[in-house]
Chains A and B, each alone.
Chain A
Amino acid sequence: MAEPMKIRAKMEGDTADVKVLMSHPMETGQRKNDKGDLVPVHFIQIVTATHNGKTVLDAQWSQAIARNPFLGFRVKGAKAGDKITVSWTDTTGDKGSIDTTVAAA
């Protein structure tokens, strides 16, 4: 995989605001390359986020999530120092994962 993922988590009141950037081409299967051949579908299908090991978000995606996907979500009751992990699996079985600790407000 090319560039690494990016993640940031910060407290806002009693809620952790999490922002994630993934590095992925998210090919729709409808785009043609320079030679005019269709580029095969290749996109992130499943994204899972955990808070201190507990699943808080399970996402299913289509090819129509924008390239290098952005995901923002919020975890209520989180505290500064808690661990947030986000991982993905794509149509070829490739995986990516990143974690961070929640920063104080």
Chain B
Amino acid sequence: MQYIRRRLLKAIGGGAALMLAASAGILRTGHAFAAIWNKTGFDAKVPSDALKSLGADGAQPSKDITLTAPDIAENGAQVPVTVVSKVPNTQSISIIVDKNPFPLNSTFDFANGADSYVSTKIKMGQTSNVVAMVKADGKFFTATKEVKVTIGGCGG
């Protein structure tokens, strides 16, 4: 029963996410909606598809984004990542790990005076570029840093 319900929910969720992705470009303002999970993006297996799901192909590197992560992560299961965006009118920050099985790691939408700052810990399967992608005024900017992983954090 539980299983069927989950499958149903998944199917419904998927459809809604697609519709939202289609309308997001038009409807999105600085104000964040109640969060809806970007299934297309999180299911993407290559970084370019993940970026596409965010409408962000063609993002430009920016020096106004500070991405802090270790040069070498001994434990890929707990890699601290902090992103600070000084890009004016930053609306959201996404974290993308190029070589993870599902590259899109997380998206954070800011509203009502939240600072464009986020700090978390992520899992990394292997050495990879970590990309912080910032959406500001509908445009996309990135900062990239390579993190070397000695023990991966996806299997265990």
Contact = CB atoms under 8 A, between A and B. Distances in A.
Given A69-B121, A70-B119, A58 B105 contact: no
A75 B36 CA distance: 22
Contacts, number: 130
Q: Give chain A's interface residue range (CB within 8 Å of chain B).
A: 35 or more
Given A66-B122, A66-B123, A58 B109 contact: yes
B153 A65 contact: no
Question: How would you classify the secondary structure of chain A's contact residues: helix, strand, loop or mixed?
Answer: strand
Interface string A33-76: 00000000000011111010011111111111111011111111
Interface residues of B, number: 43
A23 to B, nearest CB: 14
Interface of B: 6, 9, 32-38, 42, 77-80, 82, 97, 100-102, 104-115, 117-124, 153-156
Interface of A: 15, 19, 26, 28, 30-32, 45-49, 51, 54-67, 69-78, 91-93
